[in-house]
Structures are given as C-alpha cells and as structure tokens.
Amino acid sequence: MKKLLVITLLALVASFFTIDAQQYYGRVSDPDGYTNIRTGPSTRYPITRRYNSGYYLYYTPMNNGWSKVYSGARSNTFMGYMSTSRIVRVNPNNGYSSSPSTTSSMRSGYIVDPRDNYVNVRTGPGTNYAIRTRLYVGTYVYYSGSSRWVKVYNSNGTYLGYVYYDRIRR
C-alpha cells in the first residue's frame, strides 16, 4: 500500500513539473468579433485582455476545453487562457504547404509593437499618410521593400499597405 501511495505521489509531482504539451499555431475565430483571455481555465477567472478575431497566436490545448495561449510573436510568452472552441488551428502560411505564388519572393514575419497591441497600416511610406487599417500584434504577414517602410500583404498575398519595418519580427 505504501509503494502504491509513493508511486502515485511521484506521478502527480512529475506531471506538475512536466513541460507543456505540443504547441500549435492558430487564429482567433469568434462570432462576437473578440475572445477574452483569462487568468485561469474557466469563466470564473478574471479577464486580462481581449484578442480580436483574426489574431494569430500559439496555444497548448488542455483536457478541459481550454487552452494556454502565448503571444503570436513569441511562442514562449504566456498570455493566459482561452476557450479552445475559439481557436482555429492553422500553419504559419495560413493553410498553404508553402508560400502562395504571389508571395513566394517576399519575406515573412509577425507584427510586433512594444507599446500597443496593434500597428497602423498606412496608404504610403510615412506617418503623414492616411491610416488604411490596423494589424494586431502576432499577425503573420508577408512584406517587400528595402527601406524603413515596407509594403505588407496578408497570408493570401493581398496587398494591405505600408508598415514601418521595425514593426515586423523576422
């Protein structure tokens, strides 16, 4: 009986200290347009932030219908917990086994910003140009150009506008 108790206790301790299971890459998809990130794996826990539908992130599914979620830009930055039903698994090329033909000659990366959770996409190469849309931190993009401002494209190769080069993590 003591041996069984010791073995069970050791198994519990080992499972507590094991490294997280496989991480996957996914996109937030919620009919409300956003999903809450919580401090724990249940709606009982407080909301710490919201991710808009279309936001890309890394996640580790748990057995209880929740996932641990990590920054889309850095797969090792733990952000909180999200309902697994609100995540659609994709690969970094958005379902393509390789880059779409329109983006095959482009570089790719993730949107990053040290101050905000989004980056403005402009109609031209500078802050004096109008804002066309926003890209949220963690969004996977293709880009081209060699100056401080680059042209960005979504994962389907659709042109979006200009983003400051330092806002893309390669």
Percent of the chain having pLDDT more than 70? 75
Q: Which of 38-47, 49-58, 120-129 has the lowest mean pLDDT?
A: 49-58
DSSP state of 78: E
Where do you find CATH 2.30.30.40 in the chain? 22-89, 101-169
Angle at 119 (CA atoms; ends 116, 120), nearest 5 degrees: 130
Q: What pLDDT sits at residue 162? A: 94
- pLDDT tens column, 104-154: 568 888 888 878 888 999 999 999 999 888 888 888 888 888 789 999 988
Q: Which of 43-57, 87-101, 143-157 has the lowest mean pLDDT?
A: 87-101
- How many helices and strands in the chain, by DSSP H and E? 1, 14
Question: Taken in order 90, 93, 94, 95, is the CA torsion positive or negative?
Answer: negative
CATH 2.30.30.40, domain 22-89, yes or no:
yes
Among 67, 64, 95, residue whose Cα is nearest residue 81: 67
- What is the SS3 assignment for 107? strand
Class of domain 101-169: mainly beta
- pLDDT tens column, 26-37: 878 888 888 999
CA atoms within 13 A on the CB side of 109: 17
pLDDT-based confidence at residue 21 (cuts at 50, 70, 90): low
